[in-house]
Structure 1
Amino acid sequence: MLYLSLVLAFVASILLTPVVKAIAFKVGAVDRPNYRKVHARIMPRLGGLAIFGSFLIGYFVLRPEDSTALYIILGAFMIIITGVLDDMFEITAKAKLLGQFIAAGIVIYGGLEIEFINLPFGGELDFGYFSIPLTILWIVGITNAINLIDGLDGLAAGVSTIALITLAGMAFMMGDMFVFAMAALLAASSAGFLFYNFHPAKIFMGDTGALFLGYMIGVLALLGFKNITVISLIIPIIMLGVPISDTFFAIVRRVRLKQPLSAPDKSHLHHCLLNVGFTHRQTVLIIYALASMFGLAALIFSQATLWGAILLIAVMLVAIELFVEAVGLAGKNYKPLINFVRMIGK
């Protein structure tokens, strides 16, 4: 039944996307070019509806059981409504944030929250009154992290698919079949959408898709790793290394420039790679490779000893810093690297 559900979700995504594309043009849910965007022509949005619809088809065929399942789906509907409104009418950042808070509140009401973690050297850290705020911060944070990287054809959908495959793999290893099934269904739905969204894209997922994928990844990652050790709680952070690090640097950048946190700019990772000379397709493939490396690191991390895990974290932090420095200097000092990647991407 699982394999049938995955195939149905994948095929449904391929079949539903052209339908959603036609609807987007009809209702005016389109993305118009401007100074901040990479595309040069009017593009239909709302692609997230195809991902959501195909996921629901697979979900209702498979019907994975968990006490939080109903609340996760209800929260997803809230996120979809928020995304559709933004794709059609471009609502304010505060209104989008309100929709995300309501969706997070729904799953928390259903029993999902970070209540405590076991400390690596003994003892337990009970979050108490901070349990609900921390849970909301995680869900809303990951939701927006995926939304922030949705700046190139196929980028958010591809990175999300890689993260979901990693999450499904770790859930299977842990014996958590609900998280495994949900993540696998989402990955299949997102992969089907990539047929139309990879460069050159025929449709964008819009906030409908980016917010939905971010919300679901945040909720499922939390569901799979809550109330365990500090080290284990770091696993979903590593798994989502690309969107989280990009969001972190965006926040630092805006605080330093005294700009609102919601202010748009062209200094995200994908913009930087484009600026140093990589093509659209090459930039997306490089970030796919980075996301895959983070996913592999998360899998290794989940099987490592305590000291091995600490060492891996240290190595990853150094690697991130070196990569950031490399991107910053690439225009002058990394011409051979750029030429090599260009050759691979042809």
Structure 2
Amino acid sequence: MLYVALLIGIVLIVSTTKLTEAYKLSSNWELLGHIAAALVIIIVGKLEVSYINQIYGGNIELGYLTIPITLLFLVSFTNVMNIKKVQSSTLLLLSCISLICFSLSAYIIDISFVEIMGICASLIIILILIYGYFSGKMFAGRTLTNSIGFIIAVLSVSLIKMSIVMIYIPIFTLALPLTIYNFIQNKTTSGHSLASSSLIAILFGLLIFIAPSYILWYLIVGFTITLIIMQFSSKYRFI
């Protein structure tokens, strides 16, 4: 049912994004579409994060917070690529790197849904990039980025359900590289920005397969604290 729920969710994402753009509606309507798609995943797909497993053993049951937290994860990760309304399609390379990390991780821990969808989404993105290169259409609209973001969100929650440490993948192979790209793109060329952010995504992606879980958890906590501190400075604020 998760495959069906994902398909329904993508249709909702595409429909609400297209309608919002066509009728120039408030972005709140687009957000409602994201929430509706996320609820489909939770209710129809039966995908939810009902507990958080601690790296040193034991679980923290979420209870009544299960649906709100799962919803927060899904909506947040869906919007991780929506930094701009229109952006270069070459940035899809970062999402492709992230999806490959999802697939490899899923292969190791034997989650076929994530493995299959990660591979399929990666191949689609590669085809889009090839088409964009030869056609000269090198821009990705919100419909595409929302759809890819939604797929990444579902795959993220599927892995986070197994281990909270898996939140490392969308943060360090997509969110952080995207942030770095947008932070340095005005200081250098677009090509250099993409190369730098892609290299960071690859390096952090490799780290998940060689570093112990507690190291990854320290990185997650450290990044979160740094992110919060940066918001107090107008110079370094990016949210």
Instruction: Name the TM-score class by shorter chain.
Output: 0.7 to 0.9
Correspondence 1:11-50 to 2 at 5 A: none
1:33-72 paired onto structure 2 within 5 Å: 67-72=1-6
Select which of 175, 178, 182 maps to 2:113: 178
For 2:181, the equivalent position in structure 1 comes to 270
Whole-Å Cα distance in 1 between the matches of residues 129 and 164 of structure 2? 30
Would you say 1:280 and 2:214 are equivalent positions? no
- TM-score normalised by the chain length of structure 2: 0.82
After superposing the two structures, state which structure 1 stretch, 178-187 or 119-128, moved more.
Answer: 119-128
CA shift at 1:152, angstroms?
Answer: 3.9
1:97 match: 31
Residue in structure 1 matching 2:78, options 121, 130, 143:
143
1:189 aligns to what? 124
Matched, 1:298 2:232: no
Aligned CA distance change for structure 1 residues 181 and 150 (closer, same or farther; 3 Å): farther
1:175: how far off?
Answer: 1.4
Q: Counterpart of 1:224 in structure 2: which amino acid? A: L
Q: Equivalent residue of 1:240, what SS?
A: helix
Alignment CA distance shift 1:121-1:271 (3 Å) = closer
Q: Distance between the aligned counterparts of 1:117 and 1:314, measured in 2? A: 15
Q: How far does residue 134 in structure 1 lie from its aligned partner after superposition? A: 0.6
Q: 1:168 to 1:114 in 2, by over 3 A?
A: same
The whole-number CA distance in structure 1 between the counterparts of 2:134 and 2:80 is: 21
> SS at 1:100's partner residue?
helix
Q: How much does 1:167 deviate? A: 0.4
Is 1:131 the counterpart of 2:66? The answer is: yes
Q: Structure 1's 310 and 102: CA in aligned 2 closer, same or farther, altered over 3 A?
A: closer
Instruction: Tell me the C-alpha RMSD between the 2 structures.
Output: 3.1
> Secondary structure at the residue paired with 2:40?
helix
Distance 2:58 2:108 in 1: 26
- Which residue, 56, 78, 82 being the options, matches 2:16? 82
- Alpha-carbon distance in 1 for matches of 2:26, 2:133: 28
Q: CA deviation at 1:204?
A: 2.6
CA distance in 1, matches of 2:30, 2:164: 27
- Identical aligned pairs, as a percentage? 25
Residue type at the aligned position of 2:79:
N
Cα distance change on mapping 1:141 and 1:198 into 2, 3 Å: farther
Report what 1:73 is aligned to. Answer: 7
SS in 2 for 1:180: helix
Name the CA distance, whole Å, in 1 between partners of 2:12 and 2:34: 8
Per the TM alignment, residue 73 of structure 1 is displaced from its structure 2 partner at its CA by 1.1
- Please give the per-residue CA displacement for 1:31-55, whole angstroms capped at 9, x wherever unaligned: xxxxxxxxxxxxxxxxxxxxxxxxx
Q: Please state if 1:113 is matched with 2:113.
A: no
Measure, in 1, the Cα distance between the counterparts of 2:19 and 2:132: 21
Q: Secondary structure at the match of 1:125?
A: strand
Aligned partner of 2:150 in structure 1 is 215
Any unmatched runs of 5+ in structure 2? 228-234
Match among 65, 72, 88 for residue 153 of structure 1: 88
Gap change, CA 1:91 and 1:204, over 3 Å in 2 = farther
CA–CA separation in structure 2 for the residues paired with 1:212 and 1:150: 14
Aligned equivalent of 1:235 = 166
Q: How far did 1:133 drift?
A: 0.7
| Cα contact 2:79–2:146 (8 A) shared by 1 | yes
CA distance in 2, matches of 1:289, 1:89: 39
Greater gyration radius: 1
CA offset at residue 160 of structure 1? 0.9
